[in-house]
Structure formats: C-alpha cells, structure tokens
C-alpha cells in the first residue's frame, strides 16, 4: 500500500464522515415534523380515522422512532469522535448506573425470556451519568439481542485500585476471535446472528467506546468462563479523577 493510497483512503474516510454528519443533522428537523404530524393524526386531533388507517400510522410511527434513534446515534458519535461533546461529570455511583440500566431494559429482557440482574457493588466514579448509562445500556441491549431464551445477562462491577470495570456478561454464542479486535469499530457487525428482529445499525458499540474514551477509559470484549461474552467499560475511579487530585 503506497503513501498515495493511504492518503486517498483517508480522504475518502473524511468525506464519508462529513456526509454522515450533514445527513444526520439535516434529517433531524423533518423527522421531528413528521413525528408531530403522526402524533396529531393518531390522537385524533385531525378527526377520527378508520381503524386500518390508525394501525398503519402506528406502524409508520414505530419506524420513524427507529429512524430517530439512528439519527441521534449518528449525531452523538459525530460529536464524540470530534471531541465536541462536553461531559457533564459529577460524582456518580456505579450501583445506581447498573440499577438504572436494568430498570430501563427489564421489559426488553422479559419479552426475550431473559433474566437480567445487576450488581449492587458500591463504587464512586467521576463521570457523566447520562452518557455512562447510555454506554452501559447499549452493551446490555446488545447482550439481550444475542442471548438465547432462558439465559441470564448480568451487569457486574469489578474493582481495582484505580479503575472500575462495568461488565455485561451473557450466555450467548460469544464473539469470534477474528472479530474481537474490530467489534467496536463504526458500522462493523459481528457474523453472529441476533435472536431479536431488526437489523443493527453498527453504531451502538462505537458509541460505547467513544464514551469510555471520553472518560479517559476504555471498552473491550473477552470470553466469559463457560461460554458467552464479557463486554466491559473501564472507567477511572473517583480517586483517579482530576477533581479529586486538586
């Protein structure tokens, strides 16, 4: 691969990222407008609709919600990668983050016949609670998608002197060794098939890594003992934060 080829590849990558950024920003306004229109129609604000039309609108509204999530993920990733997303950090407890994530995804887990349990280990972190919860939620929802019925997904916390490792442990098929090194890359998808309907955007895990790195941490995946995967976030503990050293 010549220097010219590398330069050309980088230029193409920058162009692609710029295109995604522009598209995601330009889509947000019309999506919001369409969503408001759907809401007015389904709520009968523009007159009573036939039942079949109401059902069709509700399905369209669901698809629009999926598109909204995708656009928001693209915007989040764009800001994180550009270093333009300011973290609203404060003292947060790992136990609270785990509990909040579990409560948010309990319905999804139950619908997939999966048990979801969360750690109650008490550990203070200096972090953006909203973003850290977003990252952990992405990991747990991903684990649920690839876990067999009747299995358990555990949200655990492992502590070392300076780092808290938030783990999501599943009993699924695991990630092939050949894919572990790039599973957190943008738009990369594992060859393992999901047990739930719907296609992944390939953005969720990239956001997880970007959020971890914004906290001076890291994200990774390892094999779980007995089968399955351990996806983890390594975040500096409170004693390691800049504010605590001041």
- Which CA distances in Å does 185 have to 38, 79, 97, 189, 234? 35, 16, 24, 9, 17
Closest CA relative to residue 164, chosen from 240, 242, 246, 244: 240
Question: At 68, is the pLDDT very low, low, confident or very high (cuts 50, 70, 90)?
Answer: confident
Does 193 score more than 70 pLDDT? Answer: no
Q: If you average pLDDT over residues 19-44, what whole number do you get?
A: 73
Q: What is the pLDDT of residue 242?
A: 47
Return the residue matching tokens 């973003």: 131
User: 90-245 domain in CATH 3.30.565.10?
Assistant: yes
CA 88 to chain centroid, in Å, comes to 18
d(CA 175, CA 223): 8
pLDDT band, very low/low/confident/very high, at 234 (cuts 50, 70, 90): very high
The residue ranking higher by pLDDT, 167 or 194, is: 167
Stretch(es) of the chain classified as CATH 3.30.565.10: 90-245
Domain with CATH 1.10.287.130 in the chain: 3-82
Report the distance separating Cα 172 and Cα 192, nearest Å: 10
Average pLDDT over residues 45-74: 75
- Residue 123's nearest CA partner among 151, 91, 155, 101 is 91
pLDDT at site 241: 46
- Euclidean distance between the first and final Cα of the chain, in Å? 48
Query: Is pLDDT of 219 > 90?
Result: yes
**pLDDT (tens digit, 9 = 90+) per residue, 156-182?**
999 998 999 999 999 998 888 888 888
CATH assignment of 3-82, among 1.20.1300.10, 3.40.50.1980, 1.20.140.10, 1.10.287.130: 1.10.287.130
- Cα dihedral 44→46→48→50 (10° resolution): -100
pLDDT at residue 245, rounded to an integer: 43
Q: What's the predicted TM-score (pTM) here?
A: 0.73
Out of 2-11, 49-58, 83-92, 170-179, pick the least confident. Answer: 2-11
């Amino acid at each position: 691969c010549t220097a010219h080829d590398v330069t050309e590849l980088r230029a193409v990558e920058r162009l692609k990222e710029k295109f995604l950024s522009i598209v995601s920003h330009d889509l947000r306004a019309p999506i919001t407008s369409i969503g408001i229109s759907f809401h007015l129609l389904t709520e009968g604000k523009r007159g009573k609709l036939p039942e079949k039309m109401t059902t069709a609108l509700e399905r369209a509204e669901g698809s629009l919600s999926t598109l909204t999530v995708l656009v928001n993920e693209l915007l989040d990733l764009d800001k994180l990668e550009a270093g333009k997303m300011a973290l609203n950090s404060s003292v947060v407890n790992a136990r609270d983050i785990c509990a909040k994530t579990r409560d948010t995804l309990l319905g999804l887990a139950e619908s997939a016949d999966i048990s979801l349990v969360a750690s109650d280990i008490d550990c203070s972190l200096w972090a953006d609670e909203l973003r850290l919860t977003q990252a952990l939620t992405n990991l747990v929802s991903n684990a649920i998608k690839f876990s067999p019925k009747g299995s358990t997904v555990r949200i655990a916390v492992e502590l070392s002197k300076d780092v808290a490792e938030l783990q999501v442990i599943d009993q699924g098929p695991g990630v092939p060794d050949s894919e572990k090194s790039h599973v957190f890359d943008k738009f990369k998808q594992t060859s393992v098939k999901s047990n739930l309907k719907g296609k992944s955007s390939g953005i969720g895990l990239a956001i997880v890594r970007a959020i971890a790195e914004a906290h001076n941490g890291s994200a990774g995946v390892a094999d779980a003992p007995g089968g399955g995967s351990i996806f983890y976030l390594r975040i500096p503990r409170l004693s390691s934060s800049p504010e605590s050293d001041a």
